[in-house]
Amino acid sequence: MPTVYEQIRADIVAAMKSRNASTTLALRTTDAAIQRAAMDAGKPIDDALVGATVRKMVKNLTDAKAEFEKGGRPDLVAANEAEITLLQKYLPQSLDPARLDALVDEAIRESGAQSRKEMGKVVGVLKRKPEAGQIDFADASRRIQAKLP
């Protein structure tokens, strides 16, 4: 079974052969971002790096989509939605809510956080967990805020 990165590379070739310009461009941009992230981190490309990079790209596209909606640009909104949909298939499945709650509780205990001012400590502990690649940190932050006074 190919790695996520190998799948992206294979999909680039398939998109080029089918002359799908928008998919080719989106996947090439993703490939370049992954390679840049690997170079910046000074480590080889693995599924964790690919997941983090693609998740960051999806977040940026979602933020841009919201701005395009405010600006009344339905053409750009549609383009961003298509690219988000394309990239989401390369993301690992996120954790179920019960498992995320358990991880948040465990991270709060490990960090010793007592208030919302110490959320950074809890997030730092979550990022070191083996399941970090599957955590939606926006959702985790909301859960942490709800649990800390």
**Spatial distance between the Cα atoms of 70 and 132, rounded to a whole number of angstroms:** 32
Every domain range in the chain assigned CATH 1.10.10: 97-147
**Residue 35 confidence (pLDDT):** 92
Q: Would you give the distance in Å from CA 63 to the centre of its chain?
A: 13
We find that the CATH architecture of domain 97-147 is Orthogonal Bundle (1.10)
Tally the residues of the chain: 149
Query: What pLDDT, on the 0 to 100 scale, is given for residue 1?
Result: 67
pTM, two decimals, is 0.67
Please list the residue range(s) of the chain that carry CATH number 1.10.1510.10: 4-88
For domain 4-88, the CATH superfamily is: Uncharacterised protein YqeY/AIM41, N-terminal domain (1.10.1510.10)
Digit-by-digit pLDDT tens for the chain (149 residues) are 678 888 999 999 999 999 999 999 999 999 999 999 999 988 888 887 888 888 889 889 988 999 998 888 988 888 889 999 999 888 877 777 788 888 888 888 888 878 788 888 888 888 887 777 677 777 788 888 888 78
SS3 of the chain: the string is CCCHHHHHHHHHHHHHHCCCHHHHHHHHHHHHHHHHHHHHHCCCCCHHHHHHHHHHHHHHHHHHHHHHHHCCCHHHHHHHHHHHHHHHCCCCCCCCHHHHHHHHHHHHHHHCCCCHHHHHHHHHHHHCCHHHHHCCHHHHHHHHHHHCC
